[in-house]
Amino acid sequence: MLSKRIIACLDVRDGKVVKGVNFEGLREAGDPGELAARYNHEGIDEIVILDVTATMEARQARAQTIRAVAREIFLPLCVGGGIRSEDDAAAAIDAGADKVSLNTAALRDPSLITRLASRYGSQAVIVAIDAKRQNARFEVYARSGTDLTAKDALDWAREAADCGAGEILLTSIDRDGTRAGFDCALTAAVSDAVPIPVIASGGAGAFEHFAEVFTAGAADAALAASIFHFNEKSVSELKRFLAARAIPVRL
Amino acid sequence: MIALIDYGAGNLTSVRKALTHLGAEIATPHTPYDLELARGIIVPGVGHFDATRAITDEWRAGIRAAVARGAALFGICLGMQWLFDGSTEAPGLPGLAAFAGLCTRLPSDGTLLKIPHVGWNNLTQPQPTRLMAGIEQDAQVYFTHSYAAPLTSAAAATTTYGAATFTSAVEHGRIAGAQFHPEKSGDVGLRILKNWLDSL
């Protein structure tokens, strides 16, 4: 049976892992290579490197960080942040990324999804959607949650899938960094709207939150950062917790 | 020397990194004649079956000749599908036909099942093989694909996703393959690659 994936996110700035609350107030959490090695040892299923400041500072994710992480693990590795062009994607993939995550650049030019999917395959193209609740709908934000777009999250997820995206990485801006739990309503709505896997992100604070997002949230994978970085909870403990609740995981 | 065939279907960095980690000497051949020195040949690849069109008749002949000479051939993901007769993804385009049957799209099973099949899933071993030596029953490996190979008596492993059970690894004589990505499947995947290298 296909396992639900647990993905660790390394938010990287200046070669160090940082993690903010609601995208602001970053604090330092360690060396990306060391953290990746620890997660690998604990049984993480996948790693995402996000250069959280890359888009704002017009800088692409550093090949050096990618190489340092790729050296430590033989697991799927995704890189996002500042991937604006085919050349940016190629640089990340050449450095050892298996997938790239597009956000602002895909919003600006959805054909970038199609071009990258035809060059590297859909499995290599993740579209990251940062969504925020506004009354009964979910609005999409660009540029690390700073710019409101005219897009609705469900429509944009469908469009991205039609363009050739292989997965959706869905972040709830409302929940990001709060540890109040994933936004299960948002995740379920997007998961139902698209035929491709959805990775839930934003709000993980307890093991129960993962169980909720894999059941009520219909997520295929869940991504978290701070719950793992500060050694509060280990990946292996989380997986045993989920397995005990009949949620399929790789042990 | 291990020849890693680059026919433009996806990125080879991860495969090269894993094999180098295991101590293998890797080269990417520029012409089919370069295969004459190869003890092992890897056909990787992701994406659409039509991409295998780039493996021309000359390359096929070179690969067949190398295998006839005793070189081992290993197909990964799309490269394993290419070992079969072909795929309904690109009708009429022949594979190597080392194994019988056409690869077909995974059934979506109503609306509940996501396609592509992405993530970690179990390997069931119907028989002992060199490729899977030391791998536990139900060990998990990383998949990402929408098409899959039919069941065959040469299956080294099978995997079930929704209503479909497909061949996830194959081995017969000097020819083997994996639908999953051993280079991204942690220690289990590295062991499978090592088993293949040890068989050379």
Q: What is the pLDDT of residues B73-109, one digit of tens each?
A: 999 999 999 999 999 999 999 999 999 999 999 988 7
| DSSP secondary structure letter of residue B57 | H
Look at residue A21 in the predicted model and tell me its pLDDT. 46
d(CA A10, CA A225): 6
Average pLDDT, chain A: 88
Q: Is the pLDDT of residue A20 over 60?
A: no
Q: Is the pLDDT of residue A54 over 60?
A: no
Q: Is the pLDDT of residue A146 over 70?
A: yes
d(CA A5, CA B17): 23
Phi, psi of B161 (to 5 degrees): -135, 115
Would an 8 Å CB–CB cutoff place B6 in contact with chain A? no
Give the DSSP H/E element, type plus range, for residue B19.
helix B13-21
Would an 8 Å CB–CB cutoff place B107 in contact with chain A? no
CA distance A195 to chain B (A): 5
d(CA A107, CA A141): 9
Q: What is the pLDDT of residues B17-72, one digit of tens each?
A: 999 999 999 999 999 999 999 999 999 988 889 999 999 999 999 999 999 999 99
* Helix segments in chain A, DSSP class H: 32-42, 63-72, 86-94, 104-108, 111-120, 153-163, 184-193, 207-215, 226-229, 235-244
Question: Residue B187: closest CA among chain A residues belongs to which residue?
Answer: A74
Asked if A159 and A190 touch (Cβ cutoff 8 Å), the reply is no
> Taking CB atoms and an 8 Å cutoff, what residues of chain A touch B17?
70-71, 74, 96
Q: Is the pLDDT of residue B111 over 80?
A: no
**Residue type (1 letter), B48:** H
Residue A230 pLDDT grade (very low, low, confident, very high; cuts 50, 70, 90) = low
Residue ranges of E strands in B9-55: 26-27, 40-43
Look at residue A108 in the predicted model and tell me its pLDDT. 96
Residue ranges of E strands in B77-192: 86-87, 102-105, 117-122, 140-145, 147-148, 155-161, 164-172, 175-178
Q: What is the pLDDT of residues B129-175, one digit of tens each?
A: 999 999 999 999 999 999 999 999 999 999 999 989 999 999 999 99
Report, in angstroms and rounded to the nearest whole number, the Rg of chain B calculated over CA atoms. Answer: 16
d(CA B74, CA B4): 10
Q: Helices A63-72 and A32-42, interaxial angle, to 10°?
A: 30
pLDDT mean over A227-234: 70
Asked if B36 and B64 touch (Cβ cutoff 8 Å), the reply is no
Contact (CB<8Å) A3/B120: yes
Question: Residue B146: closest CA among chain A residues belongs to which residue?
Answer: A123
Asked if B129 and B78 touch (Cβ cutoff 8 Å), the reply is no
Burial track A205-227 (b if 16+ CB lie within 10 A, e otherwise): bbbebbbbbbeebbbbbbbbbbb
Q: Closest partner residue to B116 among A5, A122, A250, by Cβ?
A: A122
